[in-house]
Amino acid sequence: MRETLIVAPATPPGRGALALIRLSGPGAIELVAALAGRHVFRPRVATHVQLRLPDGLSDSAVITTFAAPHSFTGEDAAEISTHGSPVIVDAVLQACVARGARVARPGEFTLRAYLNGKLDLIQAEAVADLIDATTAAQVRVASSHLEGALSRAIAAMGDEIAQLRALLEASLDFPDEGFHFIEPEALVGRLEGLSTTCERLMGSAASGQRLRDGALVVIAGVPNAGKSSLFNALLKRDRAIVTPVPGTTRDLLAEGATFGGVPVTLVDTAGIREATDAVEREGVSRAEESVASADVVVLVLDLGDDGDDASSARRLWDTLGGRSRICVISKGDTRTSAALPVPSWCGPDALVVSAKDGAGIAALESRLAAILGQATWDGVTLTRARHRSLAAECGMALSQAVSTARAGGSEEYILADLKEALTALQDLRGVESADDVLASIFSTFCLGK
C-alpha cells in the first residue's frame, strides 16, 4: 500500500477561498513538478506556480514539497493550494490520477504516518479527535495526545515493566545460585507502584470518554415542577413550550449544550407520575428510560407540590442513589420557594434557582461542570473505549502480579502477568496492531487526513 502514490483534498467539499490537495508516496514531487511545468522545488518552501490542468484549465496555485522522511507521512509528499472552486479541485485530482496517483482512502495519510513511525496509534487517534473537537477542552486534550503526553506516560510504564521482567528472567537463569537480581520486598514495592499508576490512569477514563463522546444530562421531575423553564434557562433560549398546564411536555426534547468544556445532550422530559392516558404513559416511559441512561440527572422540585407529586419526587430521588444527581428547587423567585424549607432528603447541596430572573443558574452550570469535569492523571486522560479496555487489562494483570508477589509466589507466574500487562500497553500505543484494529480506527477519519 505504501508503494503507491495517493492524492486527496484536505479541505471540505464545496466552494471556498482556497482549497488544499495533498499527495504522498513515490513520485509525489515529480508529479506536482509536471503540473507546474517542470518547476524545480526547494523542499518545505511554498512556491507560486501556474498549474496546467485538463480541458485547457489552469490556476494560480502555491505548491510546497516535502522530501522523505521529513513529512507528515514520512514519505515524499506535496501540498497544492488552489482557488476553492470545486471545478479546479476536481481538475487537479483528475490530473493527478491521470499521472498515476489514486484517490486516498479515509485516514490513509495518517495511517501511513503511523506505519512509517511518525506517530503512534494514540497520536493518530488524536488527529481525528482534534479535527472533530467542538470545545476548547476537547482541543486541549487532543493536542496533548498529539504532542505525545499520553504516549510518553504509557511508554514509561512499559519501560518499568520491561525492567522488572529482565530482572526476574535473570534470576530464573541462575536458579542453583539462589541469587535474586531483585529482592522480594523491592519487587512488591515496584509492582505496587505500577498498579497504583495504572489505577490513577484508569481514574481519568470515565470523564475523558465523556469529554470526547459527550454526556447525557436529563432534567426530570413531576409535572409542572419547572423542568421546561429550567431547560430553556440552561440553553439561554426558548426551546420548550412553557405553560401553567401540568403535562405540557409529552415527549423528550434534546438539545446540545456545553458545561465545563464537556459537550452535553441536555434532555427535557415529561413529568413522571401515574399517567392517565396512553400518550402520557408513553411520555413517562420515555422519561424513565432517559433517566436510566443519563450521566447526570437534575431533579426539579417545586416546594409548592404536596401529596402525590411530592411523594413521586421523593421516590424518583431515591431511585437515583449512587448516581450523579442534583436536586434543584425551582421557582426561587416565588414566595413559596422562599418561605418553605428544602426537604431533608434533598441533602445539603440542593440548589435554589429561578428560570424567570436567572438566579442560581450559574451555580447549577458550575455544579454540572464539576460533575462532568475532566479528571487527569499527571496531565493525561484516557478518552476512548479502546484506551479504557486495554488499561483495564493492564491493571488486572498488574493486580494479579502484586498478589502473587506478596504471597511469595513463583517468579514465573509474575513474569506471565507482567507480559500480559506489557502487551496491553503496547496494544494501547499500537506497537503491534492487527489489520482489523487499524481498519476500524482509520476508517472513521475524513478524506485527506
Q: What is the DSSP letter of 377?
A: B
- Please compute, for residue 51, the number of CA atoms within 13 A of its CA located in the half-sphere on the CB side: 26
> What percent helix, strand, coil does the chain show, rounded to 5?
50, 15, 35
Side chain identity at 100, as an amino acid letter?
Answer: G
Largest CA distance in the chain: 86
Which of 213, 121, 142 is closest to 380 using CA atoms? 142
Q: Which residues are annotated as a binding site for GTP?
A: 224-229, 243-249, 268-271
Annotated binding-site residues read 22, 79, 118, 224-229, 243-249, 268-271, 449
- What is residue 53's three-state secondary structure? coil
Per residue, what are the HEC states of 417-441?
A: HHHHHHHHHHHHHCCCCCHHHHHHH
- Collapsing DSSP states into helix, strand and coil, what is residue 297? strand
Collapsing DSSP to helix, strand or coil, 373 comes out as coil
What are 339's three cell numbers? Answer: 418561605
**Cell numbers found for residue 60:** 494560480
* Contact status, residue 269 vs residue 262, Cβ threshold 8 Å: no
The residues, ordered by sequence, that sit 6+ positions from 186 with a Cβ below 8 Å of its Cβ are: none
Neighbours of 64 (CB within 10 A): 18
- In the three-class reduction of DSSP (H, G, I as helix; E, B as strand; rest coil), residue 359 is classed as coil
With 0-12 CB in 10 A as exposed, 13-18 as middle and 19+ as buried, what is 202?
Answer: middle
Strand locations in 137-200, DSSP E?
none
Q: Do residues 61 and 82 make contact, with C-beta atoms less than 8 angstroms apart?
A: yes
**Binding site membership for K(+): which residues?**
224, 243, 245, 248
Q: Which of 16, 92, 102 minimizes the C-alpha distance to 61?
A: 92
Q: Which residues are annotated as a binding site for (6S)-5-formyl-5,6,7,8-tetrahydrofolate?
A: 22, 79, 118, 449
Show Cβ contacts of residue 117 under 8 Å, excluding neighbours closer than 6 positions.
74
Question: Which helix (H) or strand (E) element contains residue 9?
Answer: strand 6-9
CA–CA distance, 45 with 62 (Å, rounded to integer): 10
Q: Spell out the residues 6+ positions from residue 54 whose beta carbon is closer than 8 angstroms to its own.
A: 91, 94, 95, 98
- Binding positions for Mg(2+): 228, 249
Tell me if 337 sits within 8 A of 331, measured CB to CB: yes
C-alpha cell at 302: 417545586
